[in-house]
Structure 1
Amino acid sequence: MPILLFYLVVLFLSESVILVRCDEVQILLELKKSLGVSDESWTPNNAPCQFAGVTCTTKSVSAIDLTNKSLPGYLSFDTICQLSSLQKLSLGYNDLSGPIRPSLNNCTKLQHLDLAFNYLIGHIPDFSSLTELRVLNLSDNAFTGPVPWTSLFQKTKLTDFLIGDNPSLDRSLFPEELTSLHRLTTLYLSNCSLHGPIPPSIGNLTKLIVLELSVNSLTGPIPQEITRLTKLFQLELWKNQLTGTIPPNFRKLTELANLDFSSNNMGGDLTELKYLTKLQSLQLFYNQFSGEVPVEYGDFDNLVDLSIYNNMFYGQHPQNLGSKSDFDAIDVSTNSFTGPIPPNMCWLGKMTYMALLENQFTGEIPASYASCTTLKRFRVSNNSPTFALETTPRWTQMLDPSLFPEEVTSLRESIICIITGIKMKNNKFQ
């Protein structure tokens, strides 16, 4: 009798699993129609786990990842949320259109939702029922209306929140609700109609690695509390209306690799930045920064991109700038820099762009740049009259005579230019 009971239980469980899988196959086939899935594995002859992009637990579908599959359809959460064990839904980088229906809230076990880079419209729905949510990415769509900030207040498990590049959202102050989400590691709110100051409570998000608030209308100074975010790797605040200086103790952000304050109204010097030895990209252009470039930048092993044009900097550049890293681009135009240019910025043969125009540089342009075969843009016009090419055959082998003033054209006949976009006028070339 016990043996018979055991077999009956096994048979019942097996039939239950088969029924669940049959139901999920039907759900996935409905989803295939709404999303426009064309993959041949999405067929009634296959089990759910055999559908491309579908992951199963022992019992049912737990994840669907159809990222970048050119899906042309629409979202049917009435169908999707019938997958009662679904934890991950990734449909980013497709051609999906239409709104997100409130039925999304029926996906109560969802932990990861990525719908970025589609053509979704309408309002962003309330997420109150999605209590398990860790990752929410709705960036780069066409959402309108208000953002349901209050529905995020209880999402204490949220680690990644991205709704940037939805420029038609209603104007909103920076949402204080977000600063209570202490597990956040990525916060992407660029180009989503934020205005007003960055609140001091931003300092509560001490686990942030990526903070992007660019292309908004944020005003006032950067709060000093931002220096509590010591795990930051990337900080982008470009194209706002920020004022003031780089906050005191900004040097604490020693993990920063990418820093962009460009196109604001900030000023002051770069003293606090000379301690950020892991910097790879520094973008400060179109501001009112002043002072000298810290000599320490010449010892930065990872710095590959320095763009600080259209400021009020002066003095000389560190002469070892770029000699210890795979330097790619430098633009320090429209400042008041003086002295010679660093000779070894193409030392490792990676530089593609160099713009030094509209300064007061003097001395010779080193012949090392004539050997820089990776250089595509070379702009040094409007500097001191004493700024000249180093006398060497290497320059005459690479520069097109039509790009020089008439008085030096005869010295450079029958030569081939391998650099494009060269501007070298209003200097004294020997």
Structure 2
Amino acid sequence: MRPPPLLLLLLPLFLLSLPLAAPLSQDGLYLLQAKRGLSDPAGALSSWNPRDPDPCNWTGVHCGRPDRRVTSLDLSYSQLGGPFPLFLCRLPFLSSLNLRCNNLNSTLPSAVSACRALTRLDLPDNLLEGPIPGSLAAIPGLARLNLSFNSFSGGLPPRFGEFARLESLSLVSNLLNGTMPSFLGNVTSLKRLELAYNPWTPSDLPSEFSNLTNLEYLWLSGCRLTGPIPESLGRLPRLWNLDLSVNQLTGPIPSSLAWLKSAIQIELYKNSLSGELSLAFSNMTSLRLMDVSTNQLTGAIPDDLCSLPLQSLNLFENHFEGTLPESIALSENLQELMLFNNKLNGSLPSDLGKNSRLQSLDVSYNQFSGPIPENLCAHGELEELVLIYNNFSGTIPPSLGKCESLYRIRLKHNQLSGTVPEGLWGSPRAYLLELAENSLVGNVPDALSGAHNLSVLDISRNLFSGPVPDVFVSLTKLVEFNGSHNNFSGQIPRSLVQLSRLSTLDLSDNALSGEIPEGIKGWRMLNELDLDNNKLSGEIPAEIGSLTVLNYLDLSGNYFSGKIPDELQNLKLNLLNLSNNQLFGDIPSMYDKQVYKDSFIGNPGLCGDLLGLCPTRSDGRKSKSLWMLSVIFVLAVLVLVVGISWFYYKYKNIKKARKGAAMSKWRSFHKLGFSELEIADCLKEDNVIGSGGSGKVYKVKLSNGEVVAVKKLRGVTKKEASTFEPEKDGYQVEVETLGKIRHKNIVRLWCCCNTGDCKLLVYEYMPNGSLGDMLHKSKGSLLDWRTRYKIALDAAEGLSYLHHDCVPAIVHRDVKSNNILLDGEFGAKVADFGVAKIVKVGNGEEQMSVIAGSYGYIAPEYAYTLRVNEKSDIYSFGVVILELVTGRLPIDPAFGEKNLVTWVSATLNQKGIDDVIDPKLDASHKEEITKVLEVGLLCTHSLPISRPSMRKVVKLLQEAGSGGTARIVKRDGKLSPYYYEDAPNKANYSSENPVQYMKEQGSK
């Protein structure tokens, strides 16, 4: 049917009246071409669409007026992947390009020099690799270049000395291994130079850097610098930050640095500097923060230094001697004074704190004496007071009892006397009160109830007397209470049993009387209970058997009576001591063994089969003739046994020799209740419970009812043996390590065997297997949050023992969830020390010949430096924490090219905490889970220096479970963890330099 003629006439007019679609600009076409070369899993570029012809409206695009040309592009934190988008270089007016924190991979092409208009290029936190193109120097107006936190390798191209206008160059944390680029001394326009944490070839600090007369910020941490600090650095008139930490510099600090009059922060942390502190400090009138800690500096602390208007003075871990100059007390700006681990003596200045707003004072491990200054908290801002292991005497100043800002109080091991100010007992913010090993007297007042934030209370080895106050109902966060070796009397307070988070209770060596209070089953997290040498009486409560995580139980030296509860057999104790009481009856079968004899001596009424514990029971109804008949029968049996033995030896010697050889090199580390032959007979395929590259693991049930785990290491071929180094002998390392150490959170090695052809390791059996299997397989639902938190804390305590309590320290080198084993009550123990390394005294780190560890857990710096220290373990443990919080594997196809660490960071930034936490966890624990997550993020910091020590990790985890303060804050659009124990406003926190702040905090 034809349309009417009138409609045909009006149709052209209608089409002309329609608005014409505006064509996409040339800049828009270039942007779309760049988009096609990128992967965009998060849809960050979804607005880049031809339907909107104006690219100035697109995400991340900024245009200049009035011609609306693209001048700036910011696509940071967008999860973009793929190679560098060269099409962006066709934008003729693009002056700023920010692609930080994405997944750009491959190499950075030389053609990037086509971005001729660039003045700023930011590509940090990507996956770029290969050499850095020298063609970047051909960009005429480039003023800022940031390539940090990638995987660039090789040396820095010499063409970088040709930059004409470059003001900021940042190459932190790459794999650059050439020589320190002295030619950068030609780039006199530089104001900021950051080359830190690269495995540069060891060399001296280039004297050519003294030509950089505009330089304000020089960061050369972890650059393997050697030799002395050049005198020529004193010719940098504008330098305000000099950081030469974590190197191998030697010699004194040159006096020429006195010319750095504008310096506000000089850091020489963790070097091998020696000699005296020889700065002419009187010229450094602008100095605010000084850190020369962890070196080998000697001599006295210069009076000129203490006369400066310092905010922070860190001289810890050196060899300084003499007294602290009185002039330090005149500094009105002083907020932080850290002098621990030196050889300082004399008294602290009496006016210290009077003229300044002092916040942190740590002078521990010195030889200071005299009284504690009265004015330390004169301005009410003192938060941290650490005076442990000195010779301070006199009374604790009453002013400290009025200092409500205190949160960390450590006065242990001094010569303090008198009573403790009542206000100090009830410090409202204090989480740690440590008064142990002094001569303090008096009662503990009811004011203790005001310390509702208290986590650790240690008042042991003093002269306190009277009753322990019944005020613990308000101390709900208390984890550890040690009141041992005092003169306390009366009963154990009933309110103590209401502390559900209590892990350690030690009231030994006092005069406490009465019974153990009822209701102790509420101590579900109690690990250590020590009440020995008191006057306690009554029966041992059967409820103790319900304390499933109890590891240490000492009730000796009291007046306990009655029978030993059979419920004690439910416990997995490393120590049991019930000696010297008034117990009677039979010993529970689990403990009726010679190995436990010392646990029961001094109880005349106890009976059992333990030799020498109690008189042998005789049956009066037996006749003398029957006794004689029994003797004859025994003799006959002996003759028969001897005959059989001779026959066995004569005719079965081959089989016996084979087994005898196999057992000839058995070595035990604990008293054993089984024979070696019994182990060998049970190594059958039906008993295999696990296998790996090193061999198989068998579950062996012994005739005495005990169960052990046996690892049978596979044999090594001659070809393999010829390539092995001593450090790779897993059997030898395991035996030498586990054979010497004892800790409740380290798996126990019962015994071992090495005949050359056969190597066996016999461990305690852990019924719930490894954390990795439990968490990532079908049993993951059994791990609620409280269980996961306990596992994290147990494992942290085990690693802390290795790092801090073993002499020399031990680095595990393969911390992962599969090497954390769980007992029947989900208590965690660190296992598998086949690649562990003993760190020699004097060596903070040691270079390995090969990488040890498991993919996804290896610290980034270990992968390219092969240097092992405790920080490598801490990174791996951080990954384990992230596993516990997220329920995810460290490497997952869902992450793409990311790992768990980068996935957590990216997801936190884009979606928030709810998308990170394992959905199987109860949301009611969200606050505590968040705090533990922050500890994991702190442990996995890319800079080793920023990771806390394992001792600090244990404390942070305890505080996380006790309501400690932790926050995730946003920095430049990216979420980062900053863990505080104090108020939100940290005085020396710099929003301009968060990496520096984290480094300062991590070092402590």
For the superposition of Structure 1 and Structure 2, which TM-score range results when normalised by the shorter chain?
A: 0.7 to 0.9
Q: Give the counterpart letter for 1:332 in structure 2.
A: V
Equivalent residue for 1:313? 344
1:41 Cα offset (Å): 4.8
Moved more, 419-428 or 295-304: 419-428
1:371 Cα offset (Å): 3.5
Equivalent residue for 1:393? 422
Q: Where is the helix percentage greater, Structure 1 or Structure 2?
A: 2
Equivalent residue for 2:508? none
Unpaired segments ≥5 residues, structure 1: 1-16
- Say if 1:318 and 1:213 are closer, same or farther in 2 by CA, change over 3 A: same
Equivalent residue for 1:47? 54
Moved more, 375-384 or 153-162: 153-162
1:71 alignment partner, SS class: coil
Q: 2:64 aligns with which of 39, 48, 57?
A: 57
Equivalent residue for 1:145? 154
Alignment of 1:340-355 (within 5 A): 340-355=371-386
- Say if 1:121 and 1:91 are closer, same or farther in 2 by CA, change over 3 A: same
Q: Give the counterpart letter for 2:32 in structure 1.
A: Q
1:177 Cα offset (Å): 4.1
Native 8 Å contact 1:351 1:375 kept in 2 = yes
Q: Give the counterpart letter for 2:92 in structure 1.
A: S
Q: Give the counterpart letter for 1:151 in structure 2.
A: F
- In structure 2, how many angstroms separate the alpha carbons of the residues matched to 1:272 and 1:299? 12
1:38 and 2:70 are equivalent in the alignment:
no
Equivalent residue for 2:90? 82
- In structure 2, how many angstroms separate the alpha carbons of the residues matched to 1:402 and 1:233? 35
- Say if 1:237 and 1:403 are closer, same or farther in 2 by CA, change over 3 A: closer
- Say if 1:405 and 1:362 are closer, same or farther in 2 by CA, change over 3 A: closer
Equivalent residue for 1:221? 252
1:238 Cα offset (Å): 0.4
- Say if 1:209 and 1:347 are closer, same or farther in 2 by CA, change over 3 A: same
1:23 Cα offset (Å): 4.2
1:132 and 2:136 are equivalent in the alignment:
no
1:309 Cα offset (Å): 0.7
- In structure 2, how many angstroms separate the alpha carbons of the residues matched to 1:46 and 1:348? 62
Q: Give the counterpart letter for 2:240 in structure 1.
A: I
- In structure 2, how many angstroms separate the alpha carbons of the residues matched to 1:403 and 1:246? 34
Native 8 Å contact 1:322 1:347 kept in 2 = yes
1:358-393: CA deviations, max 9, x gaps? 111112212332333332321111222xx1355543
- Say if 1:199 and 1:29 are closer, same or farther in 2 by CA, change over 3 A: same
1:320 Cα offset (Å): 2.7
1:102 and 2:110 are equivalent in the alignment:
yes
Native 8 Å contact 1:233 1:258 kept in 2 = yes
1:5-56: CA deviations, max 9, x gaps? xxxxxxxxxxxx9844334543564576479771655444263443444433
1:170 Cα offset (Å): 4.0
- In structure 2, how many angstroms separate the alpha carbons of the residues matched to 1:91 and 1:390? 62
Name the TM-score, length of structure 2 as normaliser. 0.37
2:238 alignment partner, SS class: coil
Native 8 Å contact 1:35 1:96 kept in 2 = no
- Say if 1:54 and 1:129 are closer, same or farther in 2 by CA, change over 3 A: same
Equivalent residue for 1:12? none
1:179 alignment partner, SS class: helix
2:249 alignment partner, SS class: strand
1:276 and 2:308 are equivalent in the alignment:
yes
1:160-211: CA deviations, max 9, x gaps? 2223233x44444323443322222222221233333322222232222222
1:285 Cα offset (Å): 0.8
1:241 alignment partner, SS class: coil
Q: Give the counterpart letter for 2:197 in structure 1.
A: D
- In structure 2, how many angstroms separate the alpha carbons of the residues matched to 1:106 and 1:177? 30
- In structure 2, how many angstroms separate the alpha carbons of the residues matched to 1:87 and 1:392? 64
1:189 and 2:196 are equivalent in the alignment:
no
- In structure 2, how many angstroms separate the alpha carbons of the residues matched to 1:37 and 1:177? 47
Equivalent residue for 1:363? 394
1:163 and 2:200 are equivalent in the alignment:
no
- In structure 2, how many angstroms separate the alpha carbons of the residues matched to 1:308 and 1:337? 11
1:84-126: CA deviations, max 9, x gaps? 3333333445555554333333334433333344454433443
- In structure 2, how many angstroms separate the alpha carbons of the residues matched to 1:226 and 1:406? 44
Equivalent residue for 1:210? 241
Q: 1:300 aligns with which of 328, 331, 337?
A: 331
- In structure 2, how many angstroms separate the alpha carbons of the residues matched to 1:243 and 1:206? 26
1:255-288: CA deviations, max 9, x gaps? 22221111111122222312321x2111111111
- In structure 2, how many angstroms separate the alpha carbons of the residues matched to 1:27 and 1:173? 47
Structure with bigger RCO (C-alpha 8 Å, 6+ apart): 1
1:220 alignment partner, SS class: coil
- In structure 2, how many angstroms separate the alpha carbons of the residues matched to 1:169 and 1:36? 37
- In structure 2, how many angstroms separate the alpha carbons of the residues matched to 1:35 and 1:201? 51
- Say if 1:193 and 1:248 are closer, same or farther in 2 by CA, change over 3 A: closer
Name the TM-score, length of structure 1 as normaliser. 0.81
- In structure 1, how many angstroms separate the alpha carbons of the residues matched to 2:389 and 2:418? 17
- In structure 1, how many angstroms separate the alpha carbons of the residues matched to 2:47 and 2:74? 14
- Say if 1:343 and 1:218 are closer, same or farther in 2 by CA, change over 3 A: same
Equivalent residue for 2:364? 333
Equivalent residue for 1:8? none
Equivalent residue for 1:238? 269
- In structure 2, how many angstroms separate the alpha carbons of the residues matched to 1:192 and 1:184? 19
Identity within the alignment, %:
33
- In structure 1, how many angstroms separate the alpha carbons of the residues matched to 2:370 and 2:435? 24
- In structure 2, how many angstroms separate the alpha carbons of the residues matched to 1:35 and 1:76? 16
Larger radius of gyration, structure 1 or 2? 2
Unpaired segments ≥5 residues, structure 2: 1-22, 162-183, 466-1004
1:216 Cα offset (Å): 1.9
Native 8 Å contact 2:61 2:72 kept in 1 = yes
- In structure 1, how many angstroms separate the alpha carbons of the residues matched to 2:46 and 2:361? 49
- Say if 1:42 and 1:422 are closer, same or farther in 2 by CA, change over 3 A: farther
1:139-174: CA deviations, max 9, x gaps? 4444433234662334332222223233x4444432
1:329-383: CA deviations, max 9, x gaps? 1111111112222233333333332111111111221233233333232111122
Q: 2:294 aligns with which of 263, 270, 277?
A: 263
- Say if 1:322 and 1:407 are closer, same or farther in 2 by CA, change over 3 A: closer
* Aligned positions, number: 409
